[in-house]
């Protein structure tokens, strides 16, 4: 493999073989480890070993290893919750109707984001430094959401036009004098002008 870096296991497998059956099997296996994969990533980010997780879960390292090598459906929900707590996370579960349209799913997510943003706005009233940080975060979130929608819009069929014009004058005047906030503001302006 040499020095080549891969962004995913499936990318590596595609590079190593043209066998469609092997590629499909790996993709299906990885697809069955969505939650486990996220938990393992958090373990790595936190610099924890399987033994560290086992100690926090008060179980054996081999049990953690077995969980990490299992499909999500083969691991008890309670075990996933314990693992999440061990790596400093919270496991959340949601119930969504299978026939819910994609646009309705996005609206539900937007409603949840709105609740979190409103909570942050409430916290901003408690302290000037918090208010500065929340204001800076709001601008960063606006930029990131714009980029997400822009990337999705770029996937629309050819010939579809998608443009947005935003007036941020009132909002940008409230930005704290921090280089990172100014950098984000410049990026927003550059994106809007291009």
Strongest mean pLDDT among 35-49, 51-65, 88-102: 51-65
pLDDT at residue 71, as a whole number: 78
Going by the DSSP 8-state scheme, the letter that residue 169 receives in this structure is: H
pLDDT at 10 > cutoff 50: yes
Is 139 buried (19+), middle (13-18) or exposed (0-12) by CB count in 10 A? Answer: buried
The mean pLDDT of the chain is: 79
Domains, in order of start, for the chain: 9-86 (1.10.260), 102-193 (no CATH)
pLDDT bracket for residue 180 (50, 70, 90): low
Q: Which long-range contacts (CB under 8 A, 24 or more apart) does 140-143 make?
A: 140/184, 141/117, 142/188, 143/184, 143/187, 143/188, 143/191
pLDDT at 176 > cutoff 70: no
Give me the half-sphere count of Cα atoms (radius 13 Å) on the Cβ side of residue 178: 16
pLDDT at 148 > cutoff 80: yes
pLDDT at residue 1, as a whole number: 44
Is the overall model pTM greater than 0.95, yes or no? no
């Amino acid at each position: 493999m040499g020095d080549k870096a891969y962004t995913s296991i499936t990318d590596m497998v595609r590079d190593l073989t043209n066998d469609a059956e092997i590629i499909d099997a790996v993709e299906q296996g990885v697809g069955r480890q969505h939650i486990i994969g996220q938990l393992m990533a958090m373990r790595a980010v936190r610099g924890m070993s399987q033994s560290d997780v086992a100690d926090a879960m008060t179980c054996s390292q081999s049990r953690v290893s077995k969980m990490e090598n299992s499909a999500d459906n083969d691991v008890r929900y309670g075990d996933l919750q314990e693992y999440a707590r061990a790596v400093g996370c919270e496991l959340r579960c949601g119930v969504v109707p299978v026939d819910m349209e994609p646009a309705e799913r996005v609206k539900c997510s937007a409603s949840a984001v709105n609740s979190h943003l409103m909570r942050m706005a409430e916290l901003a009233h408690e302290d000037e430094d918090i208010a500065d940080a929340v204001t800076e975060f709001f601008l960063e979130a606006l930029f990131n959401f714009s980029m997400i929608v822009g990337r999705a819009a770029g996937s629309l069929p050819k010939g579809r036009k998608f443009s947005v014009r935003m007036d941020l004058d009132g909002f940008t005047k409230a930005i704290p004098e921090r280089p990172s906030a100014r950098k984000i503001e410049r990026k927003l302006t550059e994106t809007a002008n291009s």
